[in-house]
Homo-oligomer: A and B are copies of this chain.
Amino acid sequence: MNGFAAADSSQSQDRIYWGYKRFFRRTTLETSDYLKDDCLIMNCTVGVVRTHLEGPKQYSISVPPSDMGWGFKELLESETGCDIDFQVGDETFRSHKLILAARSPVFRAQFFGLVGDPNMDKVVVKDVDPLIFKAMLLFIYTDKLPDAHEITGSTSMCTSTNMVQHLLALSDLYNLDRLKLLCESKLCEELSAENVATTLALAEQHQCMQLKAICLKFAANPANLGGFLFPPLCLN
């Protein structure tokens, strides 16, 4: 307590010291309620001034954001070094075990795990739409949620929301956590009176707690469902 009291007693009213005015005199402290059983508990809130870090630098060279997916997507499109074929419905997708294993623990176990087969060169995938599998492959290689147009072409009837709903289920199957979150975020953005029931069921089935909570909040607000529950009577 000596240094503390000394700092206090050296306080000069002629000069401004940050925080000095909030110091206690030793005598005031020793007679205060703050001292219990000769103990003082201090709770410090520290603020960090980041002005220096955020300020413009005298000289700087800007670096573009990560383009890691670009090179991998090129390998996928050129089929360079492919060593595994996926048969999905009527379509075959050529791919790379190593890249799939780096991105999904399920593929890692399948190709490089103790019970996996390292010489496997063909996998038949059942009950999955080829377009949804293609979308998942694109995510694996690029780390981005693919655009519905990129996958289906403009002539398809498959809507973006529908694609994302199926992609969420597939991401759960292959333990692609970030893809699952990207799908949840997209479905959350596109939530409407028409799709809230399907989205809620999907969230429930695939343990998407955030999405489920948002669906329930959305449905609980009469303003969100108003137009759906009470369609205008003047329609033909």
Contact = CB atoms under 8 A, between A and B. Distances in A.
Contacts of A30: none
A67 B81 CA distance: 24
A143 interface: yes
A61 B214 contact: yes
A146 interface: no
Interface residues of A, number: 41
A63 interface: yes
Contacts of A112: 80-81
A99 interface: yes
A188 B143 contact: no
Contacts of A60: 185, 188-189
B101 A98 contact: no
28 contacts: A57-B189, A59-B188, A59-B191, A59-B217, A59-B218, A60-B185, A60-B189, A61-B184, A61-B185, A61-B210, A62-B185, A64-B178, A64-B181, A66-B68, A66-B143, A67-B178, A68-B143, A71-B102, A75-B98, A75-B102, A80-B101, A80-B108, A80-B112, A81-B111, A81-B112, A98-B98, A98-B99, A99-B99
